[in-house]
């Protein structure tokens, strides 16, 4: 298990600043976002970011894109820029969004169209030895564990996987059940401490330690080895990042022991 962050956590920072502050805080892997820091098609910038990460010994866990299924007239052509950019930074996973509606709010035509599109994207990604993964998020076809697994099975590609993030609208036990269902397909995990009203807390507040220690023990028992990435933090500055890193590192060390690095 590795602890890192998504670059969108700090949209206001330059890539250089993000890498410097990650090193200071003690994080070692990152998901670069396509909206600000790693623009698709800007290969020169991508190579620069890769060189900076290599020099700082920061791994690149993934490329977090805002490519959304169902929006592109020529999906493979559009997605090729994301793949070329991911390849330039050696990102093993490209994250996409599974449409713009919950699975129970879409018709069969829309669902099947998104399945076919994802097959095309996965086949294109396979040429680069890259995996594709969908965000686990309300308002998409992968809005819960059951819909996510159904979609994954319908796409039926070995290089297609899922993300997990805590759902504050469900109980902790329901979240654990979802993790167990998705375990074989998980590529990365987005972490934050948030309630059902979108209030953000430090990880050492609002049962954050209890919640994430329970989740980490579940991941350990399921033998899941992936990256846990800060997506939101309560205080978006270096002080906040250091505080959150210290808390979550303590949790992960207790749960994963020598398997955490």
Q: How many domains does the chain have?
A: 1
- State percent of the chain over pLDDT 70: 100
Residue 77 has pLDDT above 90, yes or no: yes
| CA distances to 5, 29, 174, 203 from 212, in Å | 16, 19, 14, 8
Residue-averaged pLDDT of the chain: 96
The full DSSP string for the chain is -EEEEEGGGGTTS-HHHHHHHHHHHT--EEEEETTTTS-TT-HHHHHHHHHHHHHHT-EEEEEEEEEETT--SSHHHHHHHHHHHHHHTT-SEEEEE--SS-GGGS-HHHHHHHHHHHHHHHHHHHTTT-EEEE---TTSTTSSHHHHHHHHHHH--TTEEEEEE--TTS-HHHHHHHHHHHGGGEEEEEE--B-TT--B--TTSTTHHHHHHHHHHHHHHTT---EEEE---SS-SHHHHHHHHHHHHHHHHHHHGGG--
State the residue range of the domain holding 159.
2-259
- Percent of the chain, pLDDT > 90? 96
pLDDT reported for residue 37: 98
pLDDT digits (tens, 9 = 90+) for 116-129: 999 999 999 999 99
Is the pLDDT at 161 greater than 80? The verdict is yes
Half-sphere exposure of residue 141: CA atoms within 13 angstroms, side-chain side: 27
Predicted local distance difference test score (pLDDT) of residue 259? 81
pLDDT single digits (tens) 8-27: 999 999 999 999 999 999 99
CATH classification of the domain holding 90: 3.20.20.150
pTM of this structure: 0.96
């Amino acid at each position: 298990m590795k602890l890192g962050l998504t670059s969108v956590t700090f949209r206001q920072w330059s890539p250089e600043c993000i890498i410097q502050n990650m090193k200071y805080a003690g994080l070692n892997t990152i998901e670069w976002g396509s909206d600000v820091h790693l623009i698709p098609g800007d290969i020169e910038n991508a190579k620069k970011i890769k060189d900076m990460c290599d020099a700082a010994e920061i791994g690149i866990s993934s490329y977090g894109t805002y490519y959304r299924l169902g929006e592109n007239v020529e999906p493979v052509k559009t997605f090729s820029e994301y793949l070329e950019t991911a390849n330039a930074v050696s990102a093993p996973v490209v994250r996409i969004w599974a449409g713009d509606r919950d699975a129970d709010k879409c018709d069969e035509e829309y669902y099947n169209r998104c399945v076919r599109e994802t097959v095309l994207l996965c086949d294109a990604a396979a040429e680069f030895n890259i995996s594709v993964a969908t965000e686990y998020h309300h308002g998409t076809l992968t809005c819960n564990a059951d819909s996510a697994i159904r979609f994954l099975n319908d796409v039926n590609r070995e290089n297609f996987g899922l993300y997990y993030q805590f759902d504050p609208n469900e109980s902790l036990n329901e979240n654990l059940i979802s993790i167990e269902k998705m375990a074989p397909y998980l590529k990365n995990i987005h972490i934050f401490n948030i309630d059902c009203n979108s209030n953000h807390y430090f990880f050492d507040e609002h049962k954050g330690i209890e919640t994430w220690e329970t989740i980490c023990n579940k991941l350990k028992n399921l033998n899941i080895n992936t990256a846990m990435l800060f997506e939101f933090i309560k205080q978006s500055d270096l002080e906040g990042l250091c505080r959150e890193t210290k808390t979550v590192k303590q949790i992960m060390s207790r749960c994963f022991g020598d398997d955490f690095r």
